[in-house]
């Protein structure tokens, strides 16, 4: 993983107030595009102090409070004397030092720290402001604890990964590492560099730091944010492929979609009309078919459910990450400790199962379009495998690239299988006898996003090559831009710019097999997409249109 780079041009500060984060806010913080500070509103600080005071009084009065003056989980019947309540919280971070596997993307860790601070600022967890400030201090200094990818079942939230973060900011144990200033250091060194001392936890504070869905929600938020961009790229790429296949207009007629008024279907049809059948687009031709094949004609009906699903997913994620997932819940107004199950990650898990399924369906559709583009039986006169120089008999064109795409697409549909409903667990002496499995589902969603980013790069190469060759067939030159409206043209040009290739009239994007290194081209395009570079910028109008659709629905 490369170093995160702070961009001063995007330097607007994100204020954490417990209730107003969006997936864009989270990704900007995770990618270090925005700085972070805590809300200083008097009411917020009063809530924090009130809940902290309620905990202190309860311990002094010898009340039985889960996880404060009792053990944890199935050992809640073990009484913890008030004099040991603080030590029990510190020990909590030690017995949960059990993660395994490989380090997750550091952006997820940053996002999780932001979301935990956001939840704690609600003032229902009985924690000192000083500890929340430490989370933000680590974010501001880009000091990122190393968190492994195995260890949570989304039951009492993400106990194991969140305990890693808690150990880092408190220095209670040495059982964690922190990435900062280009080095991997122990948490004691990290604290020293930040001018902080190890801090002893007080009653309830360990539980407040680790009990909840903040990590699953963080990964889900990052995945959802990237999925929005991928949907926009997918639609604009599809419009380019439809143009290369001489798609007919009738299937996108507004009257068709008014008679079956699914919101997503109508929005896709409207988007394709804007992208593909713009009045300024010239050089149209009929394809000679009475009607197009299904992947062309049914595009709105096929992708419409994905459009709606992504909107539902993001609504779910944003609700979860701005909610309270702590147990017990403290009501500062009444002084009550309320036992609850808000820590269960079921909403995130189901949402991420759905996100993975929709990414697989989008890939499946692009795969069918690619198959048509490379097959002379179906592509209306384009060369086999879209080879650029068909005068050299042994040129094979994009045959190898299609094989690579075929290796990825089945993985995306396989990852689309649900995790939550298939694999029950009965952890922790049967206390956690139902589990959200949100951590696993969210991690799989991120893997799907990364795979689809590669597959999207592959699709772009096919789309641009097909347009260049269609232009050659229509007009005798290979500048595919003349077939496109503004937004598809911007995406086309971003591909050429990313690959550092000059658009020209004599040759398509890829000409002789031995003249290019497609592996390197894929790497460049994928990196551009992952960094929200010029490719994402090119499809911003479609992304903005989807955001408006999401806001209205």
Per the model's pLDDT, the better-predicted residue between 174 and 272 turns out to be: 272
The class level of CATH for 227-323+344-552 reads: mainly alpha
> How far apart are the C-alpha atoms of 162 and 407, rounded to whole Å?
35
Joined together, the tokens standing for residue 272 give 């394709």
pLDDT tens sequence across 141-154: 999 999 999 988 77
61-73 pLDDT tens trace? 999 999 899 988 7
* pLDDT tens, position by position, 163-185: 999 999 999 877 899 999 999 99
Residue of 439, 343, 436 lying closest to 151 (CA atoms): 439
pLDDT band at 428 (very low <50, low <70, confident <90, very high): low
Check residue 420 and give its pLDDT.
Answer: 87
Catalytic residues: 66
Whole-Å CA distances, 530 to 184, 342, 405? 24, 33, 18
Q: Give the residue among 451, 439, 453 at the shortest CA–CA distance from 101.
A: 439
pLDDT at 54 over 70: yes
Q: Supply the DSSP symbol for 73.
A: G
pLDDT band at 425 (very low <50, low <70, confident <90, very high): low
C-alpha to C-alpha distance for 336 and 15, rounded to whole angstroms: 29
Identify the pLDDT of residue 436: 76
458 contacts 365 by C-beta, under 8 angstroms:
no
User: Residue 430: pLDDT band by 50, 70, 90 thresholds?
Assistant: low
What is the chain's mean pLDDT, rounded?
91
pLDDT at 10: 45
Q: Which two tokens stand for residue 410?
A: 């089945």
Class of residue 404 by CB neighbours under 10 A (exposed 0-12, middle 13-18, buried 19+): middle
- pLDDT at 6 (0 to 100): 39
Q: Is the pLDDT assigned to residue 282 strictly greater than 70?
A: no
Cα separations in angstroms, 186 against 142, 169, 172: 15, 11, 12
Q: What is the mean pLDDT of residues 529-536?
A: 96
- Whether 477 shows a pLDDT value over 50: the answer reads yes
| Rounded (10°) angle between helices 299-321 and 263-276 | 120
- Give CA–CA dist 482/518, Å, rounded: 25
Confidence category of residue 434, pLDDT binned at 50, 70, 90: low
Q: Tokens 């990818």: give the residue.
A: 149
May I ask the CATH architecture of the domain 8-211? Orthogonal Bundle (1.10)
Task: Give the residue range(s) of CATH 1.20.200.10 domains in the chain.
Answer: 227-323+344-552
In sequence order, the β-bridge partners of residue 36 are 14
DSSP tag of 251: G
Q: What is the mean pLDDT of residues 285-302?
A: 80
**pLDDT at site 406:** 95
Among candidates 66, 103, 70, which has minimal Cα distance to 84? 70
Report d(CA 471, CA 504) in Å as an integer: 12
pLDDT digits (tens, 9 = 90+) for 232-269: 999 999 999 999 999 888 999 999 999 999 999 999 99
Residue-wise pLDDT for 182-215, tens only, equals 999 999 999 999 999 999 999 999 999 999 999 9
| Prediction pTM value | 0.94
Percent of the chain at pLDDT > 70 equals 93
Q: How far is the C-alpha of 343 from the C-alpha of 31, rounded, in Å?
A: 26
The string of DSSP letters for 531-544 reads TT-HHHHHTHHHHH
CATH 1.10.275.10 positions along the chain are 8-211
Residue 506 pLDDT grade (very low, low, confident, very high; cuts 50, 70, 90): confident
State residue 293's pLDDT score. 82
């Amino acid at each position: 993983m490369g170093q995160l780079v702070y961009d001063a041009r995007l330097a607007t500060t994100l204020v954490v107030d417990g209730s107003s984060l969006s997936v864009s806010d989270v990704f900007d913080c995770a990618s270090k595009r925005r700085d972070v500070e805590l809300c200083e509103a008097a009411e917020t600080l009063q809530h924090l102090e009130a809940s902290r005071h309620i905990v202190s009084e309860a311990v002094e009065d010898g009340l039985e409070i889960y996880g404060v003056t009792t053990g944890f989980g199935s050992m809640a019947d073990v009484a913890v004397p008030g004099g040991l309540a603080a030590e029990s919280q510190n020990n909590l971070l030690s017995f949960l030092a059990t993660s395994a596997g490989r380090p997750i993307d550091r952006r997820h860790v940053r996002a999780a720290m932001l979301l935990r601070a956001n939840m704690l600022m609600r003032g229902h967890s009985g924690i000192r402001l000083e500890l929340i400030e430490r989370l933000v201090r680590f974010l501001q200094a880009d000091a990122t604890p190393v968190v492994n990818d195995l260890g949570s079942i989304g039951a009492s939230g993400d106990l194991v990964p969140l305990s890693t973060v808690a150990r880092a900011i408190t220095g209670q144990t040495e059982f964690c590492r922190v990435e900062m200033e280009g080095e991997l250091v122990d948490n004691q060194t990290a604290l020293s560099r930040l001018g902080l001392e190890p801090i002893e936890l007080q009653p309830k504070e360990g539980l407040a730091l680790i009990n909840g869905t903040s990590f699953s929600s963080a990964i889900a938020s990052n995945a959802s944010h990237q999925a929005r961009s991928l949907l926009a790229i997918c639609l604009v790429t599809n419009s380019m492929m439809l143009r290369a296949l001489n798609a007919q207009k009738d299937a996108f007629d507004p009257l068709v979609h008014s008679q079956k008024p699914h919101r997503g279907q109508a929005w896709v049809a409207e988007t394709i009309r804007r992208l593909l059948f713009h009045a300024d687009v010239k050089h149209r031709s009929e394809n000679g078919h009475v009607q197009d094949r299904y992947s062309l004609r049914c595009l709105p009906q096929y992708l419409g459910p994905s459009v709606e699903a992504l909107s539902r997913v993001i609504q779910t994620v944003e609700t979860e990450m701005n909610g309270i997932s702590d147990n017990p819940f403290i009501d500062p107004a009444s002084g009550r400790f309320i036992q609850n199950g808000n820590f269960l990650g079921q909403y995130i898990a189901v949402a991420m199962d759905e996100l993975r399924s929709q990414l697989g369906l989008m890939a499946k559709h692009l795969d069918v379009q690619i198959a048509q583009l490379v097959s002379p039986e179906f592509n209306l006169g384009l060369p086999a495998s879209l080879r650029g120089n068909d005068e050299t008999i042994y040129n094979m064109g994009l045959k190898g690239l299609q094989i690579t795409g075929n290796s990825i697409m089945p993985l995306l549909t396989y990852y689309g299988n649900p995790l939550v409903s298939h694999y029950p667990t009965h952890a922790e002496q049967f206390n956690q006898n139902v589990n959200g499995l949100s951590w696993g589902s969210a991690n799989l969603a991120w893997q799907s996003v990364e795979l689809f980013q590669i597959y999207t790069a592959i699709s772009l190469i096919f789309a641009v090559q097909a347009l260049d060759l269609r232009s050659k067939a229509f007009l005798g030159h290979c500048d595919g831009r003349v077939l496109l409206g503004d937004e598809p043209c911007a995406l086309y040009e971003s591909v050429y710019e990313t690959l550092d290739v000059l658009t020209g009239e004599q040759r398509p994007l890829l000409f002789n097999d031995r003249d290019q290194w497609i592996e390197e081209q894929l790497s460049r395009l994928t990196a551009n997409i992952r960094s929200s570079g010029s490719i994402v910028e090119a499809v911003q109008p479609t992304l903005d249109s989807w955001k408006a659709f999401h806001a209205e629905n």
